[in-house]
């Protein structure tokens, strides 16, 4: 029998911070699968900062939104995806969807909870691993500063640095999150970027400078990192969340880019797809770290598709600790 699904559409292009009025939930009917097709009921969907840029550049009003999701195959005429199996996909922002199997990846909930395939074992974990070790060319024992360190990516970056014998400094947007960074995730030093001076805090946490700045934010924290970074330092640029909701007046950039010249500093942007051919190595290493208790993770979960836009906005107001997810009933 057909499936009734609710799906989120972009109603209008957000100007500045997105609002509920920028989104619209529509009800749709998903037909029974034809030969070679499946119907999947999503269990969790991911909301991520990169989606804000998509709303500015690629996603137009009237388009259905997409993003990472994990769910159960509830009807199948596909030999590779039997009913009751679980899959990862890019068909989030909806309760059900049909597929011919392309873009679906099997996941095993007996090895790890389903939600982790959107977090520590999924895109955020791979982003942290690849951004630090591959793009950031991290060497054992180096000193790392991570902005947005309480998020799904930043919290893992700091923990990887600690596993490899390094020093980790992190920033977050509340005193509670700062406390979690040191007590739960093992950061050596952490500070509230809303109330503290970033450069002063970097000098406290690592008086001799930093070797790697894992950039998630931009703005004053990038400026402080450029001042405090050591010669031949690296800055893997994962995101610039401070700029994502800029409207007509862009947030000013750093005033001290000349620091990169005489310090031979490398700034290098990346996206997670750069590490697709290294996913097997990532899963092996991350899986062993989780099993050995060397990596901890947190999730913030909103219930129901009607909360999806609220969860998305929360990424930019600091609501989440760890991975931000929406769970479907």
Residue 145 has which token pair?
Answer: 């500063």
Identify whether the C-beta of residue 8 lies closer than 8 Å to the C-beta of residue 20. Answer: no
pLDDT at 245 over 60: no
pLDDT at 112 over 90: no
d(CA 240, CA 248): 17
Lowest mean pLDDT among 46-50, 62-66, 188-192, 211-215: 46-50
250-295 pLDDT, tens per residue? 666 788 999 999 999 999 999 999 999 998 899 889 988 988 999 9
d(CA 304, CA 123): 22
Identify whether the C-beta of residue 145 lies closer than 8 Å to the C-beta of residue 214. Answer: yes
Write out the E strands in the chain: 3-10, 23-30, 38-46, 69-76, 86-89, 96-99, 105-107, 143-146, 167-172, 189-192, 210-214, 229-237, 266-269, 299-303, 323-327
Q: Reduced to 3 states, what is the DSSP secondary structure of residue 84?
A: coil
Whose tokens are 């405090």? That residue is 228
User: Does pTM top 0.95 for this prediction?
Assistant: no
- The number of beta carbons lying within 10 Å of the beta carbon of residue 261 is 8
Burial class (CB in 10 A: 0-12, 13-18, 19+), 287: middle
Whose tokens are 């095993």? That residue is 108
124-174 pLDDT, tens per residue? 999 999 999 999 999 999 999 999 999 889 999 999 999 999 999 999 999
d(CA 235, CA 223): 12
Q: Reduced to 3 states, what is the DSSP secondary structure of residue 252?
A: coil
Which pLDDT does position 249 carry in this prediction?
A: 62
pLDDT at 71 over 90: yes
41-53 pLDDT, tens per residue? 999 999 998 899 8
Q: Which domains does the chain have, with CATH numbers?
A: 3-119+298-327 (3.90.180.10), 123-274 (3.40.50.720)
């Amino acid at each position: 029998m057909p499936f009734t699904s609710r799906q989120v559409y972009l109603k209008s292009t957000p100007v500045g911070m997105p609002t509920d009025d920028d989104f619209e939930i529509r009800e749709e009917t998903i037909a029974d699968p034809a030969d070679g097709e499946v119907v999947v009921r999503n269990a969790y969907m991911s909301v991520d900062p990169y989606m804000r840029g998509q709303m500015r550049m690629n996603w137009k009003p009237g388009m259905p939104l997409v993003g990472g999701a994990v769910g159960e195959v509830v009807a199948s005429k596909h030999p590779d995806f039997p009913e009751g199996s679980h899959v990862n996909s890019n068909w989030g922002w909806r309760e059900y969807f049909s597929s011919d199997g392309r873009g679906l990846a099997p996941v095993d909930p007996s090895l790890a909870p389903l939600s982790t395939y959107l977090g520590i074992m999924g895109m955020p974990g791979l982003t942290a691993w690849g951004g630090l070790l591959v793009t950031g060319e991290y060497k054992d024992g180096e000193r790392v500063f991570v902005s947005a360190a309480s998020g799904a990516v930043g919290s893992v970056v700091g923990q990887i640095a600690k596993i490899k014998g390094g020093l980790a400094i992190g920033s977050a947007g509340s005193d509670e999150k700062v406390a979690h960074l040191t007590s739960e995730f093992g950061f050596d030093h952490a500070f509230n970027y809303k109330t503290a001076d970033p450069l002063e805090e970097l000098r406290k946490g690592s008086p001799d400078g930093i070797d790697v700045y894992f950039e998630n934010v931009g703005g004053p924290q990038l400026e402080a990192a450029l001042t405090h970074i050591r010669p031949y330092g690296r800055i893997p640029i994962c995101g610039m969340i401070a700029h994502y909701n800029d409207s007509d007046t862009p947030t000013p950039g750093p005033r001290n880019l000349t620091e990169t010249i005489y310090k031979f500093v490398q700034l290098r942007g990346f996206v997670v797809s750069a590490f697709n051919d290294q996913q097997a190595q990532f899963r092996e290493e991350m899986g062993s770290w989780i099993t050995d208790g060397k990596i901890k993770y947190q999730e913030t979960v909103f219930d129901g598709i009607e909360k999806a836009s609220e969860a998305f906005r929360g990424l930019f107001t600091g609501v989440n600790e760890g991975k931000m997810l929406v769970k479907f009933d």
